[in-house]
Structure 1
Amino acid sequence: MIRKMGIVWHLRIRMAAKGMFHTSDLQPLLAERGVHLSREQVYRLVTQEPQRLSMDTLAALCDILDCQPNDLIEVQVVHAEVRKTADQSRRAAPAVRRSTIRRPELS
């Protein structure tokens, strides 16, 4: 059986609760705490669920937003338990589509 876990990222909600509505509000506050991220990295941190998050960044966010890690990250089951059957393991691989690249004639 496979049990797939995921997270719900509440950073944007926590920022709004503190009156921070722009991703650019967060960058200097992180820098004050020794976390130097580019504008694009901060934007992705706020708008997408992070796949990897350093403990320094998490600690800085908790300090800035006066919250605990559980306030930012909610762990939940993404897919219910799935039992693999013999049929699922024998499915054919998808067909490969071949393409040809042709060079223009050299004059």
Structure 2
Amino acid sequence: MQWNLRMRAAERGVWKSAQMRRMIADAGLEISAGKMSSWWAGTPPTMRLEDLDVLCSVLECTPSDLMSPEPEKVAARRSRGAETVNGDDRRSDASDGGVSPVVAPRFGKPRSEPPL
């Protein structure tokens, strides 16, 4: 996804992250300077729906104004090669009928038992 927060903010006359943070706080969402910096500087790794709702309200936009799909990146990921499972080049996709890859046990690296 392409993150367009700065573009949408600029369209509303907001040029600094501190100003955007104050506007968000006025709307009832207190966020840290670090979180605002990650939103402002690039694509955030995660976004809570409540936070997205406040951003859209403050900027008078929709989520699709803040995010644009990038299907070419998804296609590039697929073409990079098959996923590896325990060193094997096997993958599951629609072209092979949705068959799951063979999963081999990991000897020497046992998983822990679940809590009782």
Q: TM-score, normalised by structure 2?
A: 0.63
**1:24 to partner: Cα distance:** 0.3
Q: What stretches of structure 1 move > 4 A for 4+ residues in a row?
A: none
Task: Work out whether 1:24 is the aligned partner of 2:9.
Answer: no
Structure 2 residue aligned with 1:59, among 53, 56, 63? Answer: 53
- Aligned partners of 1:35 and 1:56 also within 8 Å: no
Structure holding more strand per residue: 1
SS in 1 for 2:2: strand
- Aligned partners of 1:9 and 1:73 also within 8 Å: yes
Aligned length: 83
Structure 1 residue aligned with 2:9, among 15, 18, 21? Answer: 15
Instruction: Calculate the aligned-residue CA RMSD, in Å.
Output: 2.2
Percent pairwise identity: 23
The verdict on how the C-alpha distance between 1:45 and 1:85 changes in structure 2, with shifts beyond 3 A counting, is closer
Aligned counterpart, 1:84: 82
Aligned counterpart, 2:43: 49
Q: TM-score, normalised by structure 1?
A: 0.68
Q: C-alpha deviations, 1:9-31, integer Å up to 9, x for none?
A: 00000000111000001112111
Q: C-alpha deviations, 1:57-77, integer Å up to 9, x for none?
A: 101111111100000011212
Matches of 1:45 and 1:63 in 2, distance apart?
16
Matches of 1:36 and 1:50 in 2, distance apart?
17
SS in 1 for 2:70: strand
What are structure 2's unaligned runs of at least 5 residues?
90-116
